[in-house]
Amino acid sequence: MIRTRLSAHTDASVAYRRVNVSTGRALITVALLIMLLISVGTGGARAAALKAMWGPGIVEGVSRFPTYQDLGVRIYEEKLDWALIATSRPRNPRNPNDPAYIWPAEVTQAVAEAKRYHIQVALQIIGAPPWANGGKPWNWVPKNPQDYANFAIAAAKRYPSVHLWMIWGEPSRSPNFEPFYPANPLARRLTAKQKIAPRLYARILDAAYGALKGVSRSNLVIGGMTFSASDLTDDLTTAQWIENLSLPDGKPPRLDMYGHDPFSFRAPNLSNPPSAYEQLDFSDLGRLSKLVDHYLGRPSNPDPKLFISEWTIPTKIDLEFDFYVEPLVQAKWITDAFRVAEELPSIYALGWIHLYDEPPESYGGLLETDGVKKPGYFAWKAG
């Protein structure tokens, strides 16, 4: 998940910096109009990709799952913070009942609610406790990949109804993953230091894959977990990350799907030219699919599908992005995104983050803070 403000390289024709002055009544009227436009424009067709949505699932005792169900969400996304769940080293790390584990009640409740509403769950295992990473902060990789794998086993046993597992979150940026040495976005070959982060990530991904498959062959492992929006100072580009994601023997790590957060500062369209600095935004998902196939495909899985974990479009300036669009543009881009998902069969799931606006952090919700539905809500529901 995003943790810091992102910098946008925008085109003024699509990124707006003026304040939206539409009234709530006007937005409702416009929402009805856009529902009609979406229906006519798509001919009632639905994207093959599964709709996914990040939590929380329960807020102040009230379940959000009825809203997720109304939106047609098929996958609920949530994180498991290893550093918080296992502050001390467990004696039996593969046993979810080990006294060292303190499983978050909100995740347990959300998994139960998802089952009640017949919605799948995707859990993201992120962070490492100090005992596993040499006393470092949560974003430092564990010294032994097996420690991460053991926690994955315990998590899979704790939540047996969960079969989608995301490995870390946005490790291609240094605030989320250390040790990390950024590279010039135009560099075609990385130095030995710059290759450290993707190589270390490959080891925990592969270890987690074997561990999760050992618990259940139904478990699907989502690796990579890159993102597109970058300030180009703390990161590796998505292409650099994928090209250097390899194990000590030179082979690619095992995975079922490739996770990516294709934040976009332009309308999604597969006909758009490549994004700057190989950031691979929503319009580049066709290019991303080819890149993943080339570098991460294995004989048993030559063309891994894409799992779009996070995507959002702010309708006011917030702390995550330094751009925003008008609410109607948000709705149009959502419709465009589902059209892309329909055109590109390699997309397994299309995920959205922020159901509600959460100022000042985010104005990328489908609902305003008071529950008023933006045009984007109806566009997502129709997608």
Q: What is the 3-state secondary structure (H, E, C) of 220-262?
A: EEEEEEEECCCCCCCECCHHHHHHCCCCCCCCCCCCCEEEEEC
Using one digit for the tens of pLDDT, what is the confidence trace for 269-305?
A: 999 999 988 889 999 999 999 999 999 999 999 999 9
Of the candidates 6, 30, 24, which has an alpha carbon nearest to the alpha carbon of residue 329? 30
Using one digit for the tens of pLDDT, what is the confidence trace for 73-87?
A: 999 999 999 999 999
Ramachandran bin of 170, using left for φ above 0, alpha for ψ from -120 to 50, beta for the remaining angles: left
Q: Are strands 62-63 and 347-352 parallel, antiparallel or unpaired?
A: unpaired
SS3 57: coil
pLDDT of residue 234: 81
Is the link from the previous residue into 345 a cis peptide, with omega within 30 of 0? no
- Distance between CA 356 and CA 371 in Å, rounded? 7
DSSP for residue 284? G
Could you tell me the two tokens for 84? 């918080």
Domains defined along the chain, listed by start:
24-382 (3.20.20.80)
Could you tell me the two tokens for 192? 């030995």
| 237, 279 contact by CB (below 8 A) | yes
DSSP 165-228: EEESS-TTBGGGSBS-----TT-SS--TTTTHHHHHHHHHHHHHHHHHHHH-TT-EEEEEEEES
Residues of the chain with pLDDT under 70: 1-47, 229-232
Angle 294-268-286 from CA coordinates, rounded to 5°: 15
Q: pTM here?
A: 0.90
pLDDT of residue 236: 93
- Distance between CA 321 and CA 8 in Å, rounded? 7
- Distance between CA 363 and CA 294 in Å, rounded? 37
* Residue 206 burial class via C-beta count within 10 angstroms: exposed 0-12, middle 13-18, buried 19 and up: buried
pLDDT of residue 188: 84
